[in-house]
Structure 1
């Protein structure tokens, strides 16, 4: 298959065209090391947030990130688990277990590959900005609420699938607040907020987790219990339970052989596929949007240019392969990509190196991860949720945006928080499309031509009327614009319509124009269309709206329309 039909390795081809050097290699190694350190706790925290054991977040980076970097279309994107997926993936895990989550990820990978092969990369540009801002802000709010349990060390009297139910459970669980967990959370949050201002070169979350773990050990010494990752998660080796995450590589396994929500092996059936297909499409669409937005941000920081279709195929291959090794959904992460660029990355090798850092952490540091406090990880995700929701930017947009865009943004935000992102994006797109149609219809109008301002229309007899239509003639504007042509007094024999300012018309407009012609024939009125483009004339002819002497004519300009109108009038005068 040719490069044009299968856009693989686009980012690497771009690197080879630019040229690779030793300084570029040093930049990739340095950036990969930096981003790898950032990715380790985030990957574990995000896996926990979607209801999976923490090691599955690391497996995602280990498998998906280098494969996407190898096959994708952006030189700088860093892929892995992201906060945006939490609101989609958590309900899947709750309903279908880890096996269902991995199967849904695999299906989303296939959809992403199909999107790339169909050259759908540019279609993402048609997602309106208020829709994107609304659902990302809503996702940030949902993630923040989900972290309250671990931030305060609460014991909840049940589980919930909707945010409103979760809020009720949180309120009911407040009496179980843990002082130790709360202190660790406050300490971690303080470091996350203040450290970047003091020592920006050292990742704040690394310091926050380290100090949080040390504070947890100190509080345990004084009798205040703090929940840790090793207490919450464990793995089985040779029949023995060990705390934390396994210090070895994932093994190859079919995703559907892993347990479902009931703890039993997942049973693949048509009904299960039917239930997962909608979330899989949502994952694919969100992954495409996130990855391509991330690539645009990287392009703006570096002056490079990504290949959107190659990036979609790369993301699809990564999500197709990762579930076979326990990896959950992956997409490009804007914060990690920006850190990658700032750290001196030059090529996709940085993303591969960052996966190597995660590999070293699994093999060498896994026992230490058991001491990470759950409250510190929750604080890290709370900070991620704040950055993701961009409250200041949302407030600014609400102040300056048109009312229609404000409605779209708030609708997407509220629906994401109260229901789910799939519904929010669907309704948001419908609202945005409706507003666009309304605005476009307002640009189309029909007005009588002023004969005193048109040399070609001077001294025209009263039996001739002249109109001008400006703007696109489509289903939202056609009936209103063409209905004006029916409003004239008896005695009119010819109507001239200047359509030189009509760039396009659709089938609704053609049908409406055909109705006007039918009325004109019954009344003995001829129609002359002036200034129509070749495309408009071709559309009319294909639809059967053919010129007919004495009834319908196409002319280039108003001067020719005048000549045609006078000749037809002369032919109709009784001798």
Structure 2
């Protein structure tokens, strides 16, 4: 990257809020206000649930929805994106809290936010386009499975054992509940079942009602009236905490730097994917408008920094809440700001009733949410696409559940890259074609090879061997390499071509090259492939010219030289 490129990347124009971000005309204002209230009502139980699921606590979930929601809405790159705590972030954060303690969350959150902010300033927002679809869907399926498994201890009123894999923890919780069932277990199971039933059935009756909030409200009232022995949320803040910077020391940063990278990677990926999906959502106006990926990273980075300073958790764009915003008529960033203000109102006005919500009720909400994250049609489409994509999807999902989310993305990318390269290598081939037109004497000494596909490190060796073996087998004196159908050449492929030309020429076989594309010529010259030809006239643009030259060459070799006995008798 040149100094000029770096200065261009660091130009902050286009990454800052503008007046066009909002439309305050009465009709648009009312639509944003209504959509924001709707999303705020939907986000409340999710914020509480994700805060608990992450191990940080319900208060952190509420703070994140308020602080990060506002900051991301103002500085982000999408008109309709709603940000806050998400299931994926809760899944990544939980083992970090278990390993480094609750005190590390603020530092990790601020540090990850600064990394995401830097990615946005450096204009790296388009990186999400390099993620293969099977990796994204496998990642999503794995996250959904983890979210569901994380709720099993709450659904059974069993304390989750820290330090274990989520799947193992769920199995242990089930075994404990079966071995020692009690009244609390029966109550929590009933609460989960009631929440699931309401969330599934209520949308069929009325889509205008927030099913998750109605379900949580109904079971909370019922549990209070019945005096159910089910664990509750308990303490919640009645005001926002005072912002402060976490303790930043070299040793502390060194301890959690890996966690910062993991959180930053997830925040960037999930937010950009959510914004990209939101940009394609249909509305009665035709669409939600384009999104700016670099500005989105800036907004999400600032949101996590602010959230960490107020005691919240890392934030990302939330596709579920964003979809609710779009369906509810949200048009500008004002809707996301209103959503945060609704949650803020709960903190100042309703923490008493909210603190009595059973944990099992939130577990039921997240269980339903986990199922809704996965679409059967999408899974079926990936599994029936190609074997390579299906394998990538399955491997990513399994590793997400069994090991680590960031490792799952990395390994998924490696698997996808390997399978894609193998596919490209198999599609790259070399064919020996007959010479076009009428046959001439000596044509049997001319070999025309047509190279197709890609001359790259995954295929060049095989192509080199095929041409070498074939030319050794036959009495070949001239080889024509037809390169017009080669779509890609890398340094390894160019070097392999140079080695092929050298070997053939050393055996006395003349090599003619036809159809070098302009985009490949510089590389072939730099590597020295074209310089290996016996003469610069052995490079052709048309096949007819190459064949004519090859026939004349064979004819000259077949004609006796002066002084040869054959010349005297001729």
- TM-score when normalising by structure 1: 0.88
Q: 2:457 aligns with which of 456, 475, 478?
A: 475
1:283 and 2:263 correspond = yes
State whether residues 525 and 551 of structure 1, in contact with CA within 8 Å, keep that contact through their aligned partners in structure 2: no
SS at match of 1:229: coil
> Matched residue of 1:371: which SS?
coil
Q: How does 1:3-18 map to 2 (within 5 A)?
A: 5-6=11-12, 8-9=14-15, 12=18, 15=21
Does the Cα contact within 8 Å between 2:511 and 2:533 map onto a contact in 1?
no
Residue equivalent to 1:293: 273
Call closer, same or farther: CA 1:93–1:567 in 2, change over 3 Å.
same
Select the residue among 89, 97, 104 that pairs with 2:108. Answer: 104
1:322 maps to 307
CA–CA distance in 2 between the matches of 1:550 and 1:565?
A: 13
Deviation at 1:331, TM superposition (A): 0.6
Local SS of the residue matching 2:430: strand
| Alignment correspondent of 1:234 | none
Q: Structure 1 residues 97 and 532 mapped into 2: Cα distance closer, same or farther (>3 Å)?
A: same
Match of 1:354 among 322, 325, 339: 339
For 1:135, what is the secondary structure of its paired residue? helix
Please tell me whether the aligned partners of residues 68 and 307 of structure 2 are also in contact (alpha carbons under 8 angstroms). yes
Q: What SS does the aligned partner of 2:431 have? A: strand
Task: Tell me the residue number matched to 1:236.
Answer: none
Q: Distance in 2 between matches of 1:473 and 1:429?
A: 22
Give runs of aligned pairs for residues 49-198 of structure 1, distance below 5 A.
49-155=53-159, 158-174=161-177, 175-177=180-182, 178=184, 179-198=186-205
RMSD: 2.4
| 1:550 equivalent in structure 2 | 534
**Which secondary structure state, in structure 1, belongs to the residue aligned with residue 247 of structure 2?**
helix
Which residue does the alignment assign to 2:330?
345
Match of 1:447 in 2: 431
Paired with 2:327 and 2:374, the residues of 1 have a C-alpha distance of 22
Per-residue CA deviations over 1:140-177 (Å, capped at 9, x if unaligned) read: 11111111121122245x43431243134213420144
Q: Which residue of 2 aligns with 1:427?
A: 411
Measure how far apart 1:269 and its partner are.
3.9
Q: By how many angstroms is 1:402 displaced?
A: 1.9
**Map of 1:458-473 to 2, 5 A cutoff?**
461-473=443-455
Cα shift at 1:135: 1.9
| 2:62 partner SS | helix
Contact 1:8 1:314 in 2 (8 A): no
How many residues are paired up?
542
- What is the CA-CA distance between 1:312 and the residue it aligns to? 1.5
Shift of 1:11: 7.4
- In the TM superposition, residue 200 of structure 1 has moved relative to its aligned partner by 1.2
Q: Secondary structure at the match of 1:301?
A: coil
Residue 242 (structure 2) pairs with residue 254 (structure 1): no
Please tell me whether residue 200 in structure 1 is matched to residue 182 in structure 2.
no
Q: 1:9 to 1:356 in 2, by over 3 A?
A: farther
Q: Distance in 1 between matches of 2:140 and 2:89?
A: 10
Residue in structure 2 matched with residue 235 of structure 1 by the alignment: none
Q: TM-score, normalised by structure 2?
A: 0.89
Distance in 2 (alpha carbons) for counterparts of 1:455 and 1:15: 66
**What residue ranges of structure 2 are gaps of 5+ in the alignment?**
1-6, 563-570
1:350-373 CA-partner distances (Å, limit 9, x unpaired): 111111112211111112211111
Which stretches in structure 1 are left out of the alignment for 5+ residues? Answer: 231-243, 258-267
Cα 1:34–1:439 change in 2 (3 A) is same
Following superposition of structure 1 onto structure 2, how do residues 202-241 of structure 1 map, counting pairs within 5 Å?
202-220=209-227, 224-230=228-234
| Kept in 2: contact 1:140–1:388 (CA 8 A) | yes
Structure-2 change in CA distance of 1:490 and 1:388 (3 Å): closer
In structure 2, the residue matched to 1:238 is none
Shift of 1:201: 0.3
Taking the aligned partners of 2:407 and 2:448, their CA distance within structure 1 comes to 48
SS of corresponding position for 2:443? coil
Q: For residues 442 and 118 of structure 2, what CA distance do their matches in structure 1 show?
A: 60
Relative distance call for 1:193 and 1:210 in structure 2 (3 A) is same
Whole-angstrom CA distance in 2 between matches of 1:525 and 1:3? 52
Rate the CA distance shift 1:13–1:309 in 2: closer, same or farther, 3 A.
farther
Does the aligned pair in 1 maintain the 2:432–2:449 contact within 8 Å?
A: yes
Superposed displacement of residue 566, structure 1: 4.2
Give 1:397 shift: 3.5
